[in-house]
Every structure is written in C-alpha cells, then in structure tokens.
C-alpha cells in the first residue's frame, strides 16, 4: 500500500510550483485531480521538445487526472465546490486574491470543510507591498539575492533550473504531508501558505548569515565555493577535475597523498580554511603546478585513493547516461498523448513501485469526473463542452 492511497487532492494549478507538489503526492498514491483553464495549463505550451509535448509539463504532471473548467462560470465553480467537498487536500496557485474572489479562499473552505488541508502558493505572499507583483522564477531569484552570489566576478547569472518554483513546490509538498499527519491525530484540517520568495529566501540561509554577521556578502566565484577552498575546478594536463576539501584532515591528506607535498599543509598561507580562501589565487597555482603534469584520470585516481571527493563535469546528456542511474535502475517508462516516454523514479521510494501514471491530455478526465459527481452521461458530456 502506498502511503497516500485513499487521499484525494484537487488542485487548481499551473506552471511549476503547485504541479511539482501535487505530482509527488500522486506518486505516493494520492488521487490528484488537476483543474485546468480552458486551453489547458499554459505550461503545456512552453516548448514542443518531448515528441511535441512541453518538457516542463511532462516532468510535472504525470500520474494526474485532468479536468478543464472555466471558473469564470458559476456552473464550473459549482463543480469545483463539489470536488472540494469530497477532497482531503485543495491546492491552488492562482494570483493573490483570485481564489477568494471565486469563493475558494482558505479561510472560507476551512469553515465549510474542517478536515480539509488547503494550500495556497503565491509569488510573494498574501500581504505586504509585493503581494500583487508577478513572480516569474528569474525575477524571484533577483529579489532573493540569488543572482548576486551566482556567476563569475564579472557576470551575475541565474540558476539554470526553476529553483524558486521548485523550492516553493517542495515546501508545499512537505507542508501538506505534515498537515495530513496532524489531521490523523487531531481530525483538524489546515490552511497552508507558501510563497516562492520566502521559500527561496530560506534556501539563501548560508549567504544570508554570512552577510548578516560578516559585514559583506560572499563573492561570486563561478564554479568555485565562495567560503571553502580548495573546492571547485582545477586544470590538469588535457582536462579539468572538480574536487572538494571539507576539513583539515582531508587537507593534510590532499597535500601529502595527492600533491606529494606534505609540507604545504603547514604553509601559513593555507593553514586553515579562512586562510586558504583569502589566498585562493596562490592556492590554485600550487595545486595546478602538480595537476598540470597529470592527466584527469591520474588526478582522479590519486583523489580516490586518498578519499578526497571529486567529480566530472557532465552535461545533461552525461546525466541521462549516468552509470549510477543505470546501475540503480532509476529509469521507467510512462504513457503520454505522444506515446511512451522515459521518466526517472521519484527520489523517495517506499520499497515498492510508485504510482507513475500517464501524462494527461487537457480535459481528458472531465466527463468521467462529472459522472462521479452524479451527472448523467449526456449531461456530463454537455457540461464538459460548456465549461471547458
């Protein structure tokens, strides 16, 4: 039995944050009914790279049922009210205030359904001067200071994935799980609020405290670590190796067993991590003077023998063909409107296969869900046409 079997989730969702949260609930066994606008979630049209489907949508929306409702229409809102009355969880990431105007605010739903777990996801929260700002991922990365610490000294850079959306989706997911656990003990539902900005602000914890108490923020250091050295890419003969030193024991082993220069560990310029960071340029010269005579394979062999962490710089194709994913059997196949697609298993497993269902077409399940709500077959078909 999957952990969330018997749990029903209704989600008025779009884009990334809410769909990420609900997909993970679905793969723990919950039934997830995705309510889409007429024409479908706009993330369906971000690109056409997955056999004509959007890469974002395929990633975020397998294992769900799709119902299309035009919530500007009262009949559609009545259908959503019926769905929520049967649900354990309601998720929405409409613009701030939109759910309330439609009659689906968390406070009202909590009064009508005391056991319901209602989760609202927004860009900046439901109060404050940024409440009504549009919150696309890049813009939230800017406001949270992430671009100021990412990139090279000359060029600030965005993170290459939708990190603000992902952070909010993960907090929504974990918050919903915690609320369901509490409900099992108390019988009480919950009203949860998650914002992209506050989720990413939490993930900025190390640079935040570094700046708050250090008087200056960590510098942008490209692929190196701003506060640990040596940690990052180092040139060899014919390539580059990434390595990371976490403590003084590793530093001493690195000097003696990898560089063949045990005396370097006691050099005052490199005696502890703050000193190594302060003298990062000289440290690089010392390391690359040795690495420059060795191939990447030779350097990796020495690092492995000394127990020093290292990695290869892989591209996305390298991830797809990664031997660790292959060895652990992490690939599966899921159905979609475009045919079978490869998909990775979710990170958390419960000793059995997760519920990795198909990627739905927009409105694929509208008629079936309407019939479950008590509408006769012809009426359900008519409503599906009228409300979508």
Tens of pLDDT along 168-181?
Answer: 999 999 999 999 99
Pull the structure tokens for residue 362.
């927009």
Compute the Cα dihedral for 62, 30, 100, 142 and give only its sign. Answer: negative
- CA 46 centroid distance within chain: 18
| Domains, the chain | 8-203+326-387 (3.40.50.10540), 231-313 (3.30.1540.10)
337 to 37, 334, 340, 356, 358: CA distances (angstroms): 19, 10, 8, 15, 8
Report pLDDT for 350: 82
Judge contact between 149 and 218, C-beta under 8 A.
Answer: yes
CA distance 181 to 192: 14
Beta bridge partners of residue 33, listed in sequence order: 10, 65
Residues 102-111: b if buried by 16+ CB within 10 A, e if exposed:
bebbbeebbe
Q: Indicate if the pLDDT at residue 352 is higher than 80.
A: no
Report pLDDT for 221: 87
Q: Indicate if the pLDDT at residue 355 is higher than 80.
A: yes
Compute the Cα dihedral for 29, 388, 86, 126 and give only its sign. Answer: positive
Q: Indicate if the pLDDT at residue 263 is higher than 90.
A: yes
Q: Indicate if the pLDDT at residue 27 is higher than 80.
A: yes
Pull the structure tokens for residue 132.
């009504």
Q: Indicate if the pLDDT at residue 328 is higher than 90.
A: yes
Beta bridge partners of residue 343, listed in sequence order: 332
CA distance 285 to 143: 36
Report pLDDT for 267: 94
In terms of pTM, does the model score above 0.85? yes
In this prediction, residue 293 has a pLDDT band, given cuts at 50, 70 and 90, of very high
Judge contact between 353 and 343, C-beta under 8 A.
Answer: no
In this prediction, residue 156 has a pLDDT band, given cuts at 50, 70 and 90, of very high
Tens of pLDDT along 247-260?
Answer: 999 999 999 999 99
Q: Indicate if the pLDDT at residue 329 is higher than 80.
A: yes
Summarize the confidence of residues 70-91 as an average pLDDT.
96
Tens of pLDDT along 130-142?
Answer: 999 999 999 999 9
In this prediction, residue 313 has a pLDDT band, given cuts at 50, 70 and 90, of confident
Strands 231-236 and 239-244: antiparallel
Cβ contacts of residue 382 below 8 Å, gap of 6+? none
In this prediction, residue 387 has a pLDDT band, given cuts at 50, 70 and 90, of confident
Summarize the confidence of residues 101-108 as an average pLDDT.
92
In this prediction, residue 351 has a pLDDT band, given cuts at 50, 70 and 90, of confident
Task: Determine if residue 111 is left, alpha or beta; phi over 0 gives left, psi from -120 to 50 gives alpha, anything else beta.
Answer: alpha
Summarize the confidence of residues 23-27 as an average pLDDT.
96
36 to 19, 24, 33, 260, 274: CA distances (angstroms): 11, 18, 10, 62, 52
Q: How many residues does the chain have?
A: 388
Beta bridge partners of residue 351, listed in sequence order: none
Report pLDDT for 349: 84
Q: Indicate if the pLDDT at residue 338 is higher than 80.
A: yes
What DSSP line would sit under 113-154, residue for residue?
-TT-EEEEEESS-SSSTTTTS---HHHHHHHTTHHHHSB-SS
Judge contact between 109 and 85, C-beta under 8 A.
Answer: no
Tens of pLDDT along 202-230?
Answer: 999 999 999 999 999 999 988 888 889 99
**How many CB atoms neighbour CB 128 within 10 A?**
11
| SS3 state at 231 | strand
Report pLDDT for 339: 95
């Amino acid at each position: 039995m999957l952990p969330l079997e018997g749990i029903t989730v209704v989600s008025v969702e779009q884009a990334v944050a809410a769909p990420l949260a609900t997909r993970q609930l679905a793969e723990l066994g919950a039934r997830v009914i995705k309510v889409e606008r007429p024409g479908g979630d706009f993330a369906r049209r971000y690109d056409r790279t997955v056999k004509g489907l959007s890469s974002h949508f395929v990633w975020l929306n397998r294992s769900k049922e799709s119902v299309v409702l035009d919530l500007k229409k009262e009949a559609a809102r009545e259908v959503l009210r019926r769905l929520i009355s049967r649900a354990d969880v309601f998720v929405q990431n409409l613009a701030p205030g939109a759910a309330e105007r439609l009659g689906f605010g968390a406070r009202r739903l909590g009064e009508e359904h005391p056991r319901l777990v209602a989760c609202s996801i927004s860009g900046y929260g439901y109060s404050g001067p940024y409440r009504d700002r549009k919150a696309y991922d890049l813009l939230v990365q800017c406001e949270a200071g992430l671009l100021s610490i990412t990139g090279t000294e000359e060029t600030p850079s965005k993170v290459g994935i939708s990190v603000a959306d992902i952070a909010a989706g993960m907090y929504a997911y974990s918050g919903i799980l915690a609320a369901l656990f509490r409900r099992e003990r108390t019988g009480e539902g919950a009203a949860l609020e998650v914002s992209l900005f506050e989720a990413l602000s939490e993930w900025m914890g190390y640079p935040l405290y570094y700046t708050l108490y250090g008087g200056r923020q960590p510098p942008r250091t490209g692929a190196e670590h701003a506060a640990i050295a040596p940690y990052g890419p180092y040139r060899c003969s014919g390539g580059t190796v990434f390595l990371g030193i976490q403590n003084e024991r590793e530093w001493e082993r690195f000097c003696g067993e990898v560089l063949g220069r045990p005396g370097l560990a006691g050099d005052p310029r490199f005696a502890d991590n703050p000193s190594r960071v302060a003298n990062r340029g000289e440290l690089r010269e010392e390391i690359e003077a040795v690495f420059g005579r060795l191939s990447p394979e030779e350097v990796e062999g020495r690092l492995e023998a000394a127990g020093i962490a290292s990695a290869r710089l892989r591209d996305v194709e390298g991830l797809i063909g990664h031997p660790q994913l292959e060895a652990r059997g992490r690939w599966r196949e899921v159905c979609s409107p475009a045919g079978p697609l490869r998909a990775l298993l979710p990170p958390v497993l419960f000793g059995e296969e997760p519920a990795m269902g198909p990627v739905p077409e927009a409105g694929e399940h509208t008629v079936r869900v309407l019939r479950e709500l008590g509408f006769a077959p012809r009426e359900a078909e008519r409503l599906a046409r009228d409300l979508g």
